[in-house]
Chain A
Amino acid sequence: MTIIRKLAACAVALGALGTATAVIAEDKPTIVTVVKVTGENWFTRMEEGVVAYGKDNASVTTSQVGPAKADAAQQARLIEDLVAKKVSAIAVVPMDASALEGVLKRAGQRGIKVITHEADSMKNTMVDIEAFDNKVFGARFNEKIAECMGKSGKWTSFVGSLGSLTHVQWADGGSENAQKYPEMELVSEKNESFNDANKAYEKAREILRKYPDIKGFQGGSAVDVIGIGRAVEEAGLQDKTCVFGIGLPKDTGSYLESGAVDGISFWDPKDAGFVMNKVADMVLKGEEIKDGIDLGVPGYEKVTVKKGAGEGVILVGQAWVDVNKSNYSRYPF
């Protein structure tokens, strides 16, 4: 019975291996960054920051991994294996924060340092890093819209969905800021685009029909400005409207050129990747993460530190990047 013999041989080899494996010495601490999905522009850009930190700091090894499909289950499995492998620190951008609580708790119990990004509700993290305060971010959009539309006239806001906490915070931050200007009138606020540029386009067209004299649009999800821009362009209202919102330079470029979109803001994932690794390194060295420290990256020179949802802290920067027609092409994502 050859199969039995094969099995027996394998079993013997395995046994020998178990007793004879040399323990490989752990030389350098390893920081692994786990992203939502591999191969997306956003996270490819983030990897540049992760690699850059490793290059600048020879005392640690940094790397970035992510599932091939954007699925919370795949991300959890990936982290599960990293915990078993016992890396020194895990920096994660959660696909779905609540699905990772379990595995990150096990990571903590095994002595692995856990850093998160864009997950301020996460309990089992030591430091959660937010690029900026969401209310302030929303207020900044509104400030620009107000300036552009001469502080008077009708304006509206978009959100990906009413369930997306950050989008709603941006819209609320905007409307709070607009109260400073009594001449500005907010109409049919928080239109849901469901993170779909086409839906945003249809919604924007409806609004243009209903309020032909509307002057301002604040985008919520990263694709809202694309849809709004298209609707504005078709209506030939490039010069009469002010469109600001979160967006990515590559996707929004043509609308910035035509003037249908006046300006976009975002945070640079490269900096976020760099900062995550820097903070992980600091936690590994036992340095304290305290209010007002300078992480040496633009936008993170004077960070705010507050208490998080669990034991850890939330670190907030002012790392927004504003671009318009003149400088969007500097950002390759």
Chain B
Amino acid sequence: MQFRVDRQLGFLATVNIAVLVGGGLLVGASFLDIYNLQSMASQVPELGLLALGVMLAMISGNGGIDLSGIALANLSGVFAYIVVRDHVSVDDAPLLFSWAFAGVALLVGLAGGMLNGLLVARAGLTPIIATLGTQLFFTGLAVALTNGSALGLGYIEPLDNFGNTPMLGVPQCFALFLVVALILGVVLRFSPFGLRLMLLGSNAKAARFAGIPEKRILFLTYTACGLFASVAGIVIAARTSSVKWDYGSSYVLIAILIAVMAGVRPEGGYGRVICVVLSATALQMLSSLFNFMDISNFFRDLAWGVLLLAFLAQSGFDPKAWFRALRG
């Protein structure tokens, strides 16, 4: 199968390069130096992973969405830290601690994702309602576990390196994000699961009559969303050396913005992983550029809105047809 460069991909790649070039012109070399490129790259995974979850939920159709992502990410971090700190000593075995932390966090993500999956696939709840409920549930659980205060992890070398130290010039958490994205991309493109998910999303009724196991696919999809959220939770813990229930409360909407800007069809059936990756990097670079230029953060929200509208306009706008219509 050949790699397609479609409109979305072309547009997003152009935006990425335009922001880089624009940043170089407006700010100077400091925007393009290796430190800033690494700094921007290491800021991408938190939101990028959540956006991948949103994308999967959207593709599954029937108003699919996952609002519980960041709540589950925080819960994973909080729960994993509380469990692991009682059983593994940070000072004696930092590496074991880090792996145990990651392992428990993933299990929490798996469980949370399965809960979403059960609610959507088995109980047949509307995804937006089900995940809103679980969002409150996960948040509440994290508050109850910590009494609402942040838990500092302190300096745990392996975890800190994962969050902040580049390996071969690439921040490790960004590399992990790319690997996760690659795996998801391959699964969606080449596996029977990917094909069935796309078909289910484009036309649920037809998929049902074609014998596609709707419930199982939905269940697996939301479980995967939960897993992505917990990976985001691990990245957050590594990068901030702390876990708290309300970290990233603004991420829910930004993750959806990234997915929609990547051309994922909100009504289901279509979405490309590489577009989500490019959309996440574009937003990050734009946001960093504004910070470099001392532009108000309120303006940044506005700019993201403009970018989204520009994207929606370009995807629905066919210049050739427009010119033909003009000529009459």
Contacts and interface: CB of A to CB of B under 8 A. Distances in A.
A3 B5 contact: yes
A7 B14 contact: yes
A167 to B, nearest CB: 13
Nearest to A71: B250
B29 interface: yes
Contacts of B43: 77, 80
B305 interface: no
A11 B164 contact: no
B240 A10 contact: no
B240 A68 contact: no
Contacts of B18: 10
Interface string B112-154: 0000000000000000000000000000000000011111100
A103 B163 CA distance: 11
Contact of B160 (A6, A71, A102): A102
B39 A83 contact: yes
A68 B298 CA distance: 5
Given A7-B14, A84-B35, A102-B240, A66 B297 contact: yes
B9 to A, nearest CB: 8
A77 B43 CA distance: 7
Contacts of A58: none
Given A7-B13, A14-B24, A84 B163 contact: no
Contacts of A7: 10, 13-14, 17
A136 interface: no
B315 interface: no
Contacts of B294: 63, 65
Contacts of B244: 72, 96, 98-99
A98 B242 contact: yes
Interface string B150-186: 1110000000100110000000000000000000000
Nearest to A78: B291
Nearest to A162: B147
A20 to B, nearest CB: 9
Contacts of B242: 96, 98-99, 101-102
Given A21-B32, A78-B297, A73 B288 contact: no
Interface string A66-94: 11110111101110111111100000000
B297 A84 contact: no
A103 B39 CA distance: 10
Interface residues on chain B, size class: 35 or more
Contacts of A102: 160, 163-164, 239-242
B292 interface: yes
Interface in A80-127: 80-86, 96-103, 106, 110
A132 to B, nearest CB: 23
A101 B241 contact: yes
B214 interface: no
B296 interface: yes
B202 interface: no
A64 to B, nearest CB: 10
A44 B10 CA distance: 42
Contacts of A74: 250, 297
Given A82-B291, A100-B240, A102-B160, A163 B20 contact: no
A3 B11 CA distance: 8
B2 interface: no
A65 B298 CA distance: 11
B148 A24 contact: no
Contacts of A1: 5
A222 B265 CA distance: 46
A10 B21 contact: yes
Given A22-B28, A38-B298, A163-B149, A99 B247 contact: yes
A198 interface: no
Contacts of B310: none
A84 B288 contact: yes
Contacts of B291: 65, 78, 81-82, 85
Nearest to A86: B30
A319 to B, nearest CB: 26
Of listed A21, A39, A99, residue having the most chain B CB within 10 A: A99
A304 interface: no
Contacts of B236: 73
A190 B65 CA distance: 43
A46 to B, nearest CB: 16
Contacts of A161: 148
B297 to A, nearest CB: 4
A284 B42 CA distance: 28
A11 B24 CA distance: 13
4 closest cross-chain pairs (CB), A and B: A3-B10, A81-B291, A98-B242, A73-B248
10 contacts: A3-B13, A69-B249, A74-B250, A74-B297, A76-B239, A81-B287, A81-B292, A84-B39, A84-B288, A99-B244
Given A17-B32, A86-B35, 18 more contacts: A7-B10, A10-B14, A14-B20, A17-B25, A38-B298, A39-B298, A69-B250, A71-B246, A73-B247, A77-B287, A81-B40, A84-B35, A86-B30, A96-B150, A100-B240, A101-B242, A102-B239, A163-B147
